[in-house]
Amino acid sequence: MDQEKTLSVWVPLAEVARPHGVRGEVRLKLYNADSDLLLELDEVLLRLPNGEEFEVSVDAARRADQAILVKLHSVDDRDRADAIRGALVCARREDFPAADDDEFYAADVIGAEAWLRASPAKGAEVLGSGASPGRDEQDRVVGTVLDYRSYPSVDIFEVKTTDGITYEVPVVASYVDRVDAAAKRVYFLTFDELEGTGAKKPKPAPGPRPERRWEKKKREAESLTAGDGASPKTE
């Protein structure tokens, strides 16, 4: 299977955490604990830690608190279940339900253009996913969205700028103006006060070269000679 092709079609939703019981069932660690999509799928793609991947039918799936328990076809005992520990469980992007107007899927903005607003878009809903409002001519592309991650306190966009600096930009109104998932663009207001990584620091200008001993003696001799004949005595 062409891995480059599958990466653009299949989206990771969970990770195989561990076997559950002795009949091949596995416990999944969900990336979005509120999502029930995996309960509705008949087929998923497993992406193993070694890079191997294959499609597999889902025999059964059920909720278990903040996780999902899944029985995959041909995974019939605990040993086979343990063999896929750490594998990513992926769904086809087209199987996702449509996002609301004020929502977007992280998979749709990874690789998006990062735009820096010259000024906030008037009348635009912050973080909306619909059609982008007319942009200012001074708005400019400044980089690429590498990732979207959720931390306990805030979600962030990971953005790499064209000059090689990587920022973790909080998904809050003071930094993010708008997300246009359809056009694969994310509009930012500023990166000020964010600590970037990866920037190449300019090399300090070289200091003066230490004076060599023979140069010092020559300079002192020239100074004495100039002093002896610089101004004749007058009475």
> Does pLDDT of 10 surpass 50?
yes
From the options 2.40.30.60, 1.10.1270.20, 2.102.10.10, 2.40.30.30, give the CATH code of 3-95: 2.40.30.60
Residue 212 has pLDDT above 60, yes or no: yes
**Residue 119 C-alpha from the chain's centroid:** 24
Hey, what's the torsion of the CAs at 153, 95, 48, 50, to 10 degrees? -90
At residue 220, does pLDDT exceed 60?
yes
Using an 8 Å Cβ cutoff, are 124 and 101 in contact?
no
In 8-96, DSSP assigns E strands to 10-19, 26-30, 43-47, 53-64, 67-72, 88-92
> What percentage of the chain reaches a pLDDT higher than 90?
57
For the chain, domain boundaries: 3-95, 106-188
Structure confidence at residue 229 (pLDDT): 53
Tokens of 194: 């964010």
Burial class (CB in 10 A: 0-12, 13-18, 19+), 82: middle
* pLDDT tens per residue, range 23-67: 999 999 998 888 899 999 999 999 999 999 999 999 999 998 889
Exposed/middle/buried for residue 210 (C-beta within 10 Å: 0-12, 13-18, 19+): exposed
DSSP 8-state assignment for residue 222:
H
Closest CA to 133 of 142, 120, 148, 143: 120
CB 94 within 8 A of CB 168: no
The per-residue pLDDT for 39 is: 96
| pLDDT computed for residue 207 by the predictor | 65
Which of the listed ranges 2-6, 55-59, 93-97, 181-185 does the model predict with the highest average pLDDT?
55-59
- Mean confidence (pLDDT) of the chain: 83
The reported pLDDT for the residue numbered 138 is 79
Flag whether pLDDT at 232 surpasses 90.
no
pLDDT tens string 114-152: 999 986 554 344 455 444 455 566 789 999 999 999 888
Assigned CATH for 106-188: 2.30.30.240
pTM above threshold 0.85: no
Domain 3-95 shares a fold with domain 106-188: no
